[in-house]
Structure 1
Amino acid sequence: GAIKAKPQKGISSYRSKKIKEQKAKGKRKGRGSVKGAKKARTPKKKAWMTTIRALRKDLKEMRDEEVIDATTYRKLYKMAKGGAFRSKSYMRNYARDHDLIKGEE
């Protein structure tokens, strides 16, 4: 008539680990799994920071390699800050189309 403690019942983490591994591979991320708006998943501010940092880095490189002069650099920098360009390629196209790049006149 001895009283024995029953073993505790746990919750297996096998399935959650498996799902986590799949997500690490990039699976389970289709439209059906998407919850939250586009702006919620990658906030506007984060998207802007990524873009503007890339543009500013590119501008600095162009200035240092003397592709553009200081005046042009400042003009494009201000335009980038104002949101005139959506990507590096657009900014470079603008500079080329408006004859702002040295040696391409």
Structure 2
Amino acid sequence: MNLKNQRRMAATVLDCGNDKVWMDPAHEADIAQAITRADVRRLLLKGYIKRAKVNLQSRGRARVLRQKKLKGRRSGPGSRKGSALAGMTKKRRWIGTIRPLRVRLRELRDIGALKEGSYRHLYRMAKAGAFRSKSHLNLYIKEKGLMNETPSKKVK
């Protein structure tokens, strides 16, 4: 049975597209009799014609994915875009720089390799961002002659 006209009228009444109109296959004959919009409205009230549900995209998989990411999964090198430092916050980068510097300064102080008063000065400089790396710190100490010739304790 050709219900093209009825579908079109129902779509205008329901204010949706033709594909969103559902017609009860059991009442095709009654639907075919509808030739005016008023007839179509009557069929809507009876439930012979309905507006189909909007087929939304399921968020279920997205929620599962989000949970995994919150746990720290799916963050390997294959999932990354941008430069090596793109996914790292400025604070994390700073922590990665300052911790080794402070460890190195502590080591040098504990074995007595630094001259008197140098530790606090170098510590402050490190905090100010004067050194890029441990090797940069070591180079500065050598250039400025802040190292004792003979450390009081043995180097580890």
Instruction: Verify same fold: TM over 0.5.
Output: yes
Output the CA distance in 2 between the equivalents of 1:103 and 1:89: 19
- Aligned residues of 1:63 and 1:70 also touching (Cα < 8 A): no
For the pair 1:60 / 2:106, whether they are aligned, the reply is: yes
Output the CA distance in 1 between the equivalents of 2:92 and 2:86: 11
2:122 aligns with: 76
Question: How has the CA–CA distance of structure 1 residues 46 and 70 changed in structure 2, closer, same or farther, with 3 Å as cutoff?
Answer: farther
Question: How has the CA–CA distance of structure 1 residues 72 and 56 changed in structure 2, closer, same or farther, with 3 Å as cutoff?
Answer: same
- Aligned residues of 1:58 and 1:88 also touching (Cα < 8 A): yes
CA RMSD of aligned residues (A): 2.5
2:134 aligns with: 88
Unmatched segments (≥5 aa) in structure 1? 1-22
Unmatched segments (≥5 aa) in structure 2? 1-73, 151-156
Question: Could you tell me how far 1:35 is from its partner in structure 2?
Answer: 2.6
| Range 37-46 or range 66-75, more displaced | 37-46
Q: TM-score, normalised by structure 2?
A: 0.43
Output the CA distance in 1 between the equivalents of 2:116 and 2:147: 12
Question: Could you tell me how far 1:37 is from its partner in structure 2?
Answer: 5.9
Q: Which structure has the greater CA radius of gyration?
A: 2
Question: Could you tell me how far 1:43 is from its partner in structure 2?
Answer: 1.2
Output the CA distance in 1 between the equivalents of 2:107 and 2:91: 24
Output the CA distance in 1 between the equivalents of 2:108 and 2:144: 16
Question: Could you tell me how far 1:51 is from its partner in structure 2?
Answer: 1.0
1:10 aligns with: none
For the pair 1:43 / 2:93, whether they are aligned, the reply is: no
Q: Which runs of 4+ in 1 moved over 3 A?
A: 36-40
Q: 1:97 aligns with which of 143, 146, 149?
A: 143
Q: Which structure carries more relative contact order (alpha carbon 8 Å, separation 6+)?
A: 1
The one-letter code of the counterpart of 2:143 is: D
Question: Could you tell me how far 1:38 is from its partner in structure 2?
Answer: 5.1
Map Cα deviations across residues 20-65 of structure 1 (whole Å, 9 max, x no partner): xxx89x7x63xxx533565541111101011111100110000000
